[in-house]
């Protein structure tokens, strides 16, 4: 079966951005002039995804409003002859079939993904894209993972090497061998290890192709001791014992927009790519007069 469905969990509390996230979902923070969540949705759509399940917390109405039609706004823009803006706003509601699912309590990534379990058919592969990770690449990151899945028919997780100081922030893969290619067979995974316990420098980065078997394993996964959250990595460790998981070192630049520096870096880099902003921003960064 083709990968046609995707889950985007964004129900976290956004504590790293408090107090800004007290009333505004982190996923709606703009990268230049588009909210972060829109970049992730557009990557999914560009990769052939037709149905998207966005996992939100009960107060995240702004995200739903963003992807719903706003007839009043469209009419105002048309009356003001801002047709290009009107078309951009109107297009949001037709990007894909989007369904919003509520995660009532912040019980971790594994629990968030399970919210979509009733909508995934038996033996139907699906994608997971984390809302904090934006990837700029010639070939959409998710497309790259789908191509690996279609060639090998195994679950695939996106990875990138990270710096030693960041090891303890991620799930880290233990490769089976010293394979130097982009496709890396996995021996096991370790959730947020200390540097001296890390089996590699390859961190799991917010993109997955999974099969429905993962849901039963998530259900059996106990909450972690630190945050009482159900970690997806723990379920993947169990899955890898019965079905080989592949890691894929994807091509592209990844931005962690859930981190303040990563968020600022994304805004600067994306703005520099735009003809209407590049010259003035470059001058500003060089401390020149505008």
Question: Would you state the pLDDT for residue 289?
Answer: 57
Q: Count H helices and E strands in the chain, helices first.
A: 10, 13
Distance in angstroms between the alpha carbons of the first and the last residue of the chain: 54
User: H or E element: which one contains 148?
Assistant: helix 141-152
H helices present in 28-81, as ranges: 36-46, 61-67, 71-79
The matching CATH number, chosen from 3.90.550.10, 3.40.50.720, 3.40.50.150, 3.10.20.740, for 5-258 is 3.90.550.10
Helix (H) or strand (E) holding 172: strand 171-175
61-90 burial string, b = 16+ CB within 10 Å, else e?
eebeebbeeeeeebeebeeeeeeeebeebb
Q: Rounded distance, CA 184 to CA 122, Å?
A: 27
Buried b (16+ CB within 10 A) or exposed e, 11-37: bbebeebeeebeeebbbbbebeeebbb
The three-state secondary structure class of 37 is: helix
The pLDDT assigned to 176 comes to: 86
Q: What residue ranges of the chain have pLDDT lower than 70?
A: 288-290
pTM strictly above 0.85: yes
Instruction: Please enumerate in sequence order all residues whose Cβ is within 8 A of that of 267, keeping only pairs 6 or more positions apart, or say none.
Output: 30, 31, 32
Cα–Cα distances (Å) from 187 to 69, 162, 190, 237, 272, in that order, read 47, 19, 10, 9, 40
Instruction: Report the alpha-carbon distance of residue 155 to residue 173 in Å, rounded.
Output: 14
- Residue identified by tokens 């995707």 is 6
List the beta bridge partners of residue 188. 174
pLDDT for the residue 288: 64
Is the CB of residue 191 less than 8 Å from the CB of residue 224? yes
What are the angstrom distances between the C-alpha of 97 and each of 49, 51, 92?
9, 5, 11
Q: What is the pLDDT of residue 290?
A: 54
**Would you kindly state where each structural domain of the chain is located, as residue ranges?**
5-258, 260-290
Q: Quick one: which of 93, 113, 97, 95 has its CA closest to 10?
A: 113
Structure confidence at residue 109 (pLDDT): 92
DSSP state letters, 215-281: HHHHHHPPPPTTT----HHHHHHHHHHHS--EEEE--SEEEETTSHHHHHHHHHHHHHT-HHHHHHH
């Amino acid at each position: 079966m083709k990968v046609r469905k995707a889950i985007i969990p964004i129900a976290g509390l956004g504590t790293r951005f408090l107090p800004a996230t007290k009333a505004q979902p982190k996923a709606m923070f703009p990268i230049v002039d588009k909210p972060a969540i829109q970049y992730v949705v557009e990557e999914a759509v560009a990769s052939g995804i037709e149905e998207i399940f966005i996992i939100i917390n009960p107060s995240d109405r702004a995200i739903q409003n963003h992807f719903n039609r706003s007839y009043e706004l469209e009419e105002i823009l048309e009356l003001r002859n801002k047709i290009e803006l009107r078309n951009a706003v109107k297009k949001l509601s037709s990007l894909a079939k989007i369904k919003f699912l509520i995660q009532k309590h912040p019980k971790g990534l594994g629990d968030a993904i399970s919210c979509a379990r009733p909508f995934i058919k038996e033996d139907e592969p699906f994608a997971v894209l984390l809302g904090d990770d934006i990837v700029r690449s010639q070939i959409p990151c998710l497309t790259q993972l789908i191509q690996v899945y279609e060639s090998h028919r195994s679950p695939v997780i996106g990875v990138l090497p990270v710096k030693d100081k960041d090891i303890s922030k991620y799930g880290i893969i233990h490769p089976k061998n010293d394979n130097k290619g982009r496709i890396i067979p996995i021996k096991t995974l370790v959730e947020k290890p200390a540097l001296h316990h890390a089996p590699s420098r390859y961190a799991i980065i917010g993109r997955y192709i999974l099969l429905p078997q993962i849901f039963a394993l998530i259900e059996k996964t106990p909450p972690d001791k630190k945050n009482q959250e159900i970690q997806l990595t723990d379920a993947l460790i169990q899955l890898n014992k019965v079905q080989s998981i592949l890691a894929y070192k994807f091509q592209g630049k990844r931005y962690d927009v859930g981190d303040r520096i990563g968020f600022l870096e994304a805004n600067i880099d994306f703005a520099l790519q735009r003809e209407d902003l590049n010259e003035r921003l470059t001058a500003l960064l060089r401390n020149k007069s505008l």
